[in-house]
Amino acid sequence: MASSSCSLMAAATITTSTSLRASKYKYPSARLITRASSSTSTSPLSAAAASAPSPLVSSILSKVVQTDRGVTLKTDEHKKVAELAQALKEFCVDEPVNCPLIFGEWDVVYCSNPTSPGGGFRSALGRIFFKTKEMIQAVEPPNIVKNKVAFSAFGLDGEVSLNGKLKALDEKWIQVVFEPPELKVGGLEFTYGGESEVKLEITYVDEKIRLGKGSRGSLFVFQRRQPSS
């Protein structure tokens, strides 16, 4: 069962209130919502999985890293990732939107739908011309989300960045409204398109990973970035 002590993608949102109930959470940060906590559903788990989430975290990371964010995985491998994510959901806290662990910089290491993070740059055609170097999401208190996709194309380095604001829909679901994307290629920099919006359910978060499920069912795995030495 989920612990009520503490526990947000990509591929993101939070309210703007700025105090967190210290009596319930161990980590200082902004309080995001004030709704009552909801219970977490249970499903059968193996004895090993039920003992602690750490083996599940290690297992899911081992299956998604170095897979071009899930692109190279086969159908049965995607299924195994989904099963591990469902098992980890049992350990998610009751109000993950309120947990300060959602803040920080995250690498997008997996998405069950390759085009969900990065849009056309990550489509089958886009991947031929654009080599993804980094896909990062930064979540900053109290309600800021910054997405960046760094790529190389035709010998030039570039990046697409989006800035958005979070809004909590309930204890687990968040919404992010992004400003028009900014594209940088070589010495050129310009804005294109319009605003965009995403909704995501936070299904698990800890010091290492964050799991999310989009409104259309896409599964995201985020890995916390380590501070530069």
On whether residue 1 sits in a domain, the answer given is no
106's tokens: 């995250």
CB 109 within 8 A of CB 221: yes
| Predicted TM-score of the model (pTM) | 0.75
Bridge-based pairing state of the strands 156-168 and 144-153: antiparallel
Give the per-residue pLDDT at 204: 98
Residue 88 has pLDDT above 70, yes or no: yes
Give the per-residue pLDDT at 115: 64
CB 94 within 8 A of CB 2: yes
Separation CA 72–CA 81 (nearest Å): 13
On whether residue 10 sits in a domain, the answer given is no
Residue 62 has pLDDT above 90, yes or no: yes
Higher pLDDT, 91 or 128: 91
User: Which CATH number fits the domain that encloses residue 74?
Assistant: 2.40.128
Owning domain of residue 100? 47-224
Give the per-residue pLDDT at 152: 86
* Backbone conformation region of residue 155, classed left if phi is above 0, alpha if psi is from -120 to 50, else beta: left
On whether residue 38 sits in a domain, the answer given is no
Give the per-residue pLDDT at 114: 72
141-184 tens-digit pLDDT: 999 999 999 988 778 899 999 999 999 999 999 999 999 999 99
On whether residue 27 sits in a domain, the answer given is no
- Average of pLDDT values for 197-220? 96
- Average of pLDDT values for 23-52? 39
- Average of pLDDT values for 91-96? 94
* Backbone conformation region of residue 187, classed left if phi is above 0, alpha if psi is from -120 to 50, else beta: alpha
| Residues found in the chain | 229
Residue 31 has pLDDT above 50, yes or no: no
Residue 92 has pLDDT above 70, yes or no: yes
On whether residue 216 sits in a domain, the answer given is yes
220-229 tens-digit pLDDT: 999 999 876 5
Higher pLDDT, 20 or 112: 112
- Average of pLDDT values for 105-125? 73
Number of compact structural domains in the chain: 1
Residue 199 has pLDDT above 80, yes or no: yes
On whether residue 189 sits in a domain, the answer given is yes
On whether residue 212 sits in a domain, the answer given is yes
On whether residue 133 sits in a domain, the answer given is yes
